[in-house]
């Protein structure tokens, strides 16, 4: 796709990040909703590592026979799309007597972190599109 050359992997990566962070938001909401449900264990979505490795090793990454070769542009788009994230159960250090493992403070911290990172991604995406618009117009 010629458009991919224009956008690079940045837009793909940011889009995927937004997707995963939205999913994570749902899981944090579920944890907060079940803060008093007996026997509930909190869950989290872990995807940073997967995203990183997807960025590094695209499907064509094997063709680099020399470390000084420059990887093919857009090679990792397909592998980026495959990243789904892992649903992990978070073990709590101090579980309540009813078997509930949700720590409200931890969840609130995660909620804030997720929100800030999401907003950061949106901001960068906005900036990216603005730059493209400027390039198209040819004016600053």
Q: Where does this chain bind other proteins (CB under 8 A)?
A: 18-19, 21-23, 25-30, 32-40, 43, 45, 87, 104, 107-108, 111-112, 114-115, 118-119, 122, 125-126, 129
Smallest separation, CB 140 to other proteins (Å): 19
For residue 136, give every residue at least 6 positions away whose Cβ sits within 8 Å of its Cβ, in sequence order, or none. Answer: none
Are the C-beta atoms of residues 94 and 42 closer than 8 Å to each other?
A: no
What kind and span of H or E run contains 88? Answer: strand 86-89
Q: Whose Cβ is closer to other proteins: residue 35's or residue 61's?
A: 35
Q: Whose Cβ is closer to other proteins: residue 51's or residue 75's?
A: 51
Q: Whose Cβ is closer to other proteins: residue 7's or residue 118's?
A: 118
* Residue written as token pair 């929100």: 115
């Amino acid at each position: 796709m010629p458009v991919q050359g224009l956008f690079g992997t940045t837009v793909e990566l940011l889009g995927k990040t937004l997707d995963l962070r939205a999913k994570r938001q749902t899981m944090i909401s579920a944890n907060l909703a079940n803060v008093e449900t007996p026997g509930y264990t909190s869950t989290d979505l872990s995807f940073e590592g997967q995203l990183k490795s997807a960025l590094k090793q695209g499907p064509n990454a094997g063709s680099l026979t020399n470390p000084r070769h420059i990887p093919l542009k857009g090679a990792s788009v397909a592998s980026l799309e495959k990243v789904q994230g892992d649903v992990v159960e978070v073990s709590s250090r101090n579980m309540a007597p009813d078997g509930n493992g949700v720590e409200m403070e931890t969840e609130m911290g995660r909620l804030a972190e997720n929100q800030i990172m999401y907003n950061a991604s949106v901001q960068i995406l906005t900036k990216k599109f603005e730059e493209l618009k400027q390039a198209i117009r040819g004016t600053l």
